[in-house]
Amino acid sequence: MPPQTPRKVVLDTETTGINPQNSGIIEIAAIELINNNPTGNFYQQYINPHREIEKGAFDVHKISNEFLQDKPSFKDIIQDFLDFISSDTLIIHNADFDISMINTELSRINLKPIQNDCIDTLITAQRKLPGQKHSLDALCKFYNIDTSRRQVHSALVDVQLLSQVYAQLVGQQQQQFSFSDDNPFREELKNKHVTGNQIIKKPSDEEQQKHQLFIKDHFPSS
């Protein structure tokens, strides 16, 4: 096995349902870690799944079919996403679900499955904290991580929280995460440790504004 690079990617998805065979991805988000610290580089995209969102899933994330009508299809965003994650290690909570969802979507457009190494923080937490609850919310509560923005599920919010949980699980103090271009750690970390072909997919100004409106609507206390 090749030596592990200092770059990892924290990943999460939101979906139309819980069965990969008849569900689709509606939001995918990932943030870059270098030596387990967030650089501020991230990927986030809403996706039109071309199928109805199940009521149970909508109750979790509150993302509607109407909101997704003008969003791109999975096949239109997949190359940017694959370029972002590259071949680096993925950090996912309940990884089997997200990987299965992604690979099912890839199979629908006749692409090969991703085969990145993966750290499942659910399994890590179960081993490190036996007897505790191991949901993302429970782990945030255990580690005193602020979840005030997580009133509904959002892949973009969840990857921020998961990066902090992961740092706690591996016993590392994390530098402050920021999506802003003036994140003081971004260029320093990238210049020192950047590896591989990384294409950073950043939302346009219009997409940023739409996302901020979505966050404001669904996370009024943030």
Of 137, 119, 138, 117, the C-alpha closest to 129 is: 138
Catalytic residue check, 153: yes
Q: One of 61, 93, 134, 153 is an active-site residue; which one? A: 153
CA distances from 195 to 4, 33, 56, 67 (A): 11, 12, 40, 36
| Cα 210 to the center of its chain, rounded Å | 18
C-alpha 48/C-alpha 74 separation (Å) is 7
Element (H, E) at 79: helix 74-85
Phi, then psi, of 99 in degrees rounded to 5:
-65, -40
The residues assigned a catalytic role are 153
